[in-house]
Chain A
Amino acid sequence: MRKDNRIRKDVKECNDEELMELIKNGDTTAFDQMVKRYKNKLFSTLYRITRNNDTAEDILQETFIKVFRKCRLYKPAYKVSTWIYTIALNEMRSYMRKQKPTVSLDAMPTFALTSDPPNPQDGLLKIKLEQAIEALPADYRSAFLLREVDGFPYEDIANIIKCPIGTAKSRVNRARLMLKEKLGKFFGGGNR
């Protein structure tokens, strides 16, 4: 086992861009740290889009394999998070294309919550929102999750889902309107 004697920053303290530089040099601890940092966040989004545990996990595997093997293609002009999510959604699209007979993301089983919510009222709203997100058309669902759950700016969403910024915005806004339509009575918007 090789030991690096130079003093180096703990990977936990590195920002994403610094981690990428280390990964480019073949540093597997930096890669492990990147996996730790992103696996749950990314899995949550992939699961909410695909609504299938195994599918989301397979896509996540392929995503991290690409992150490691294609790390030298990463350009610091992009945020690492945007780059990784772009790979993940590309993987998801190609995974869905390979599924025969065509698997539609628009008609799948209902969302099942795995953990008991701490606050019943808060928990109810979350369940309602999960169910309503699930019922959104797939394109709106992805855009909404990237914006309101993952917190990406529209420019990044456009890069991740490969569409113009205007389209990204209109998908998020349509999703918001549909959610309000469904959830107005729970979220204080009346039933207008």
Chain B
Amino acid sequence: MNCHWVKEKIFPYLDGEVTAEERGKIEAHLASCQSCAEELACFKNIRTTAHTLDELKPSDYFEMRLKRRLQVTPKSSVWSFLWKRRLAWAAALPVLVILSFIIFRSSSSKPMPSLQVEADYYYLETESESPDIQYVVEKELSNGSNQVLIVPVLSYADKSY
């Protein structure tokens, strides 16, 4: 067992990521090698001191400011969401027109799906980048097609204590 091997293992040892066998070898070496023992003691002391660093506090007005900001209901969200993506919508429009024409032709005899939101919707992984939109929900309708719902953010002001 040499110092080089122990020094390589010193961080995994410190992090508790060595096997029982390795730990035994390291500790046996530390008992007889002052240099390695001092090095480990230094890392341990740094860690102990880091654990006890003072907890710092934001200003006294932090929570008041936070509440005030949360009570501002976001501006009409759906329209700003759509507006910010106007180019994308413009590009998609011809495709949508053609698609809806095809769908209409193929399904004109079937009843239209209900537009009610049910509780069994699931969330898409995608998080909205708009600060006003909490998430986009995709709901599978009984006929197998998907309905996309845009859900605005929760408003702190709407809720009572």
Contacts and interface: CB of A to CB of B under 8 A. Distances in A.
A102 interface: no
B120 interface: no
A41 B51 contact: no
B86 to A, nearest CB: 23
B54 A180 contact: no
Interface string A53-81: 10011001100110011111100000000
A71 to B, nearest CB: 7
B20 interface: no
Nearest to A179: B46
Interface residues of A, number: 57
Nearest to A153: B15
Contacts of B50: 129, 133, 144, 148-149
A126 B49 contact: yes
Contacts of A125: 45, 49
A27 B156 CA distance: 9
B53 interface: yes
A73 B161 contact: no
- Between A2, A60, A149, A172, the greatest number of chain B beta carbons within 10 A of the residue's beta carbon is seen for A149
Contact of B46 (A39, A69, A187): A187
Contact of B69 (A29, A53, A65, A130): A65
Interface residues of B, number: 40
Contact of A27 (B45, B59, B159): B159
Given A26-B158, A69-B153, A189-B39, A44 B53 contact: yes
Nearest to B127: A73
Contacts of A129: 46, 49-50, 53
B117 interface: no
A166 interface: no
B35 A40 contact: no
Interface stretch (B23-31, B60-68, B141-149): B60-68
A73 B59 CA distance: 29
B42 to A, nearest CB: 3
A192 B11 CA distance: 17
7 contacts: A28-B161, A39-B57, A70-B127, A117-B54, A154-B15, A176-B46, A180-B43
Interface of B: 11, 15, 35, 38-39, 41-43, 45-47, 49-59, 62-63, 65-66, 69-70, 123, 127, 131, 134-135, 153-154, 156, 158-161
Given A47-B56, A169-B11, A183-B42, 19 more contacts: A1-B160, A26-B158, A35-B66, A43-B58, A57-B62, A60-B58, A61-B62, A69-B153, A73-B134, A73-B135, A126-B52, A129-B46, A129-B49, A148-B50, A187-B41, A187-B46, A188-B38, A188-B45, A192-B39
